[in-house]
Amino acid sequence: MKRLAVLLLVIALTASLTACGNSTNSSTPVSSSQPAASSQRETSLPASQNAEDSEPVDDSSGKSESNILIAYFTAGENSGVDAIASASYTNIGGSAVRRVRALTDMIEAETGGELFSIQTQTVYPADGGELIDFAAEEQDQNVRSELTSHIENLEQYDTIFIGYPNWWYDMPMALYSFFEEYNFSGKTIIPFNTHNGSRFSNTIQTIEQLEPNATVMEDGFTVSEQNVADAGEDVAAWLDGLGY
C-alpha cells in the first residue's frame, strides 16, 4: 500500500516535471520547483555543479589533511550512463545536477571535506520508472549490492557525512553494504538525504543499529527533492549549528 502511494507520488512528480519543463532541450527534465531568478540559483550552489563535471569522486586516498569524509550514494553515478535525461537529475541554474550530489557539493564547500562516491557493481536503471521497480525488488530480496569503491584511508577521518536518497522509506541497499563493510567505531556519522515527502523515514535509527559504536548525529539534514536547488543557505546554517 505504501509502495503504491509512493509510486503514485513519483508518477505525479514525473508528470509535473514534464508539464513544467522550460528547458530548450526537451529531453532534459526540469524541476517544477526551480527558483524564479537565476541569480538566486547561482548564489545557492557552488559553481561547479553541472553534469559535465560531477563525475563520481573518490578523494579518500588521503591527499589532503582533512579529517572529514563526505560519502554519498546517488543512482545517477551508478547508472552506467551520463544520462542527463535520467530522473536522478534536476535542473539548477540551467545545469543538470544529481540531487544527493548537489547536497554533497554544498557540504564540501562549507567543510572542505573529501568526497567519496559509493559505487556499485550493480548498474541502476537510468529510467526513473524502471529504477522504482528495480529498487523495490532489491529491497524485497534484501540484496547487498557489491561495492566497487572503497575508502582507502579510513583512519584519517573522524567525521563521516553520509548522503543518500530515501528509497522506499529506507536507505538504498547499497548503504547497507557500505555500513557492513566499515566499522566506524569512535567516529561521528552525520546523515543527510533528499526525499519526496518521507524525509529520513527511520534511516537514522537504522544507521545507529548498523554502527553501534559510532556517534550518529540525529540532527541530520533532509530536504525535499524539489527544494535542493535552494538548500545552500540552510545547509550552511545547519553545519554552523553543528560547529562546522
- State how far the Cα of 14 lies from the Cα of 30, in Å rounded to an integer: 10
In angstroms, how far is CA 155 from the centroid of its own chain? Answer: 24
Please select the residue that binds ligand FMN; options are 169, 188, 217, 244, rule is CB under 6 A: 169
Binding status of residue 147 toward ligand FMN by CB under 6 A: no
Nearer to ligand FMN, 87 or 190 (CB): 87
Q: Which residues pair with 191 in a beta bridge?
A: 162
Binding status of residue 6 toward ligand FMN by CB under 6 A: yes
Closest C-alpha to 172, from 236, 79, 49: 79
For residue 217, give the C-alpha cell. Answer: 548525529
Binding status of residue 99 toward ligand FMN by CB under 6 A: yes
* Residues 12-41 close enough to bind ligand FMN by CB under 6 A: none
Please select the residue that binds ligand FMN; options are 70, 75, 118, 229, rule is CB under 6 A: 75
Please select the residue that binds ligand FMN; options are 80, 112, 129, 197, rule is CB under 6 A: 197
Q: How far is CA 22 from CA 26, 41, 100, in A?
A: 8, 15, 22
Alpha helices by DSSP H, the chain: 2-20, 38-43, 99-111, 128-140, 173-181, 203-210, 232-242
CB of 6 vs ligand FMN, minimal distance in Å: 5
In angstroms, how far is CA 168 from the centroid of its own chain? Answer: 14
Please select the residue that binds ligand FMN; options are 57, 70, 132, 239, rule is CB under 6 A: 132
Please select the residue that binds ligand FMN; options are 116, 157, 161, 167, rule is CB under 6 A: 167
Residues that bind ligand FMN (CB under 6 A): 6, 74-76, 88, 98-100, 131-132, 135, 165-169, 194-198, 225
